[in-house]
Structure 1
Amino acid sequence: MTSTPSRARHRAARRPLTSLDDLASAATGSLAVVGRRSAVVAAAGGMVLSAAMPAAAASSESRADAVPSVDTTALTAPVREALSTSPVVAVPKDVSWDFESPKIEVKENPKPVVVVRRTVTARSATRAPAPVANNPIPQTVNGNAVLEIASRYVGVPYVYGGASPSGFDCSGFTSYVYAQLGISLPRSSSAQRYAGQVISRADAKPGDLIWSPGHVAIYAGGNMQIDAPRPGKTIQFRAIWQSAPVFIRVTG
């Protein structure tokens, strides 16, 4: 067998690349970009760029993305026209203005204002006594007849809630006596307080009622009364002991 010897191929010897070669290659590629930007700035300012541009920049004029030239004269024409037609306002240098303030006259009030303060007090929850009559009505029953019936029960013992001759409390005694004369009185002493007309002590007559909080009696004339005093006591005539008694004339 015949064998053909093959020769090895070798690249041509080249100068080795250094860092300066890389820097020169980068600078060359950037010149095209710098050239295009310089052309745009020159066109916008209306200047003519006379400096020589690299071949890469010149060839960019035929590219589709090349920046067109701008007519600055046409853009500023409306503004120049508006300025030329605007009216001119002239103001003298020595012009001045002033403001006259109105005069205010303060006068003393001839009638001073008087503030009246009223004090409102709360009404009492208890019922106020009725006014004393100047001209009391006459008795509807004979006062002597009231005392004659009441005296029959002297000595009857006090019984709480009692209303019969077997035992009386204060209001049970007065209501029983008046019932013998055909007059019906309320059962409690507080209700008998409003069973007639309030009279003054000077106008009181025997047979009228004497009322004080929690107690009621029959006026016997002078400074005397007849009543059922309290538990352990009996019906009796005794002196008026109440400090502020209310005299009541039963109206029937």
Structure 2
Amino acid sequence: MTVSTTRARHRAARRPSTPLTEFAAAASDQMGTVGRRTAVVAASSGLVVSMLGSPASATPGGDAGALPAVDTAALTASARAVLNTAPVVTAPADAAWTIDVPAVTAETPPPPPPVKVKAAAASRSTVRAAAAASTAAPAATNAAVPQSVAGNAVLEVAARYVGVPYVSGGSTPAGFDCSGFVSYVYAQLGISLPRTSGGIKAAGTVISRADAQPGDLIWSPGHISIYAGGNDQIDSPRPGKTIQFRAIWQSAPVFIRIG
């Protein structure tokens, strides 16, 4: 009797198949074709860059999803020619910039029109000064004026009337007698004196000639003058003469100080 030793065969166990596992297997099969050679065309310059891919299994580290490396050494001859003929812009080291500046001219504006001042608006001081100038007689151009006049108020006022004629009884710049002249000069300084030479002597104090100062008075019978220092005086002498600086002629002058 023959005995069969053939054992029964059993199908090996398999993982269950589902639509999801079939999709994953198909994707794995397609990954091997990623490394095919592709070309990128740059239409603007005619430059062709070749990209050599390798299978996913050839990338370092075994990363099946890594992109292939670009081989820049594989540039074509046409691409190199385009790069070599590209224009290069250069500027010399000593280049200079110039700017055209327009010429500028300055014009002087016209002077403003003169301002008209009405006579009614003139100040009182201006009117008084004009009146004094109109009444004062011009000083003699050849009159010798002593240095003592400078800085002496009495002599400075008296010197304005050099050249005014002698007028008997006169007490204005139109004409003076001796006492009218002295009293008028002192009145300009705010000092009121009598009208006659004798009255003026009585109003002052008699001093010595050694103590006399420019601006003091010199009296003699019937005449009075203003002492100008040294041996000089200023007075209105007599009819036919004018006010002037001259030497002291009196034989016995009396010096009078006012105030």
TM-score, normalised with respect to structure 1:
0.43
TM-score, normalised relative to structure 2: 0.42
